[in-house]
Amino acid sequence: MTDPLHIPCPHCNGLNRIPAARLGDAPKCGRCKAPVLLNAPFELQQGDYASQIKGDLPLLIDVWAEWCGPCKSFAPIFEQAARQLSGRCRLAKLDSETNQQLAGQLGIRSIPSLILFRNGREVARQSGALPLPQLLEWLRSQGV
């Protein structure tokens, strides 16, 4: 029997204990009762960051801005990846314009930027938009 995974809720930041075997059962948050695992990226805000990078399921953050053409063209690819990776990796979008302090803290120099977190620590970073097959391969090379 495997230990439960600790996964933050994308809605209320509550930390949930979910058995690995139940990840495919659409688990709900014990605090707010909303779905814990989404098949779409969720919006990450400055106040959510510390809670959301924690947990046993990796978190991939897409740092973007409204004015960025490559960011806009990458958005549907990131959404497709979220559908394919549901239950294996959580995907979030961080608007660098509305969260300038956090973008600076993360050392963002160009957008779009992808940052992969596991257990509260950054484990990989990629700048620029990627086609879906390359994005999935990059994540596989990181153990996702």
Distance in angstroms (rounded) separating the CA atoms of residues 37 and 96 = 24
| Interstrand relation of 59-64 and 15-18 (parallel, antiparallel or unpaired) | unpaired
41-95 per-position pLDDT tens digit = 999 999 999 999 998 999 999 999 999 999 999 999 999 999 999 999 999 999 9
89-114 per-position pLDDT tens digit = 999 999 999 999 999 999 999 999 99
Number of compact structural domains in the chain: 1
In a domain? residue 11: no
Catalytic positions, please?
68, 71
In a domain? residue 132: yes
Question: pLDDT-derived band of residue 3, with 50, 70 and 90 as boundaries?
Answer: confident
In a domain? residue 7: no
In a domain? residue 4: no
| Interstrand relation of 121-127 and 90-95 (parallel, antiparallel or unpaired) | unpaired
In a domain? residue 18: no
Q: Which domain range does residue 110 map to?
A: 38-142
Distance in angstroms (rounded) separating the CA atoms of residues 85 and 39 = 8
Distance in angstroms (rounded) separating the CA atoms of residues 128 and 77 = 13
In a domain? residue 15: no
DSSP secondary structure letter of residue 62: E
In a domain? residue 134: yes
Beta strands in the chain (DSSP E): 5-8, 15-18, 42-43, 59-64, 90-95, 113-118, 121-127
Domain with residue 108: its CATH number is: 3.40.30.10
In a domain? residue 79: yes
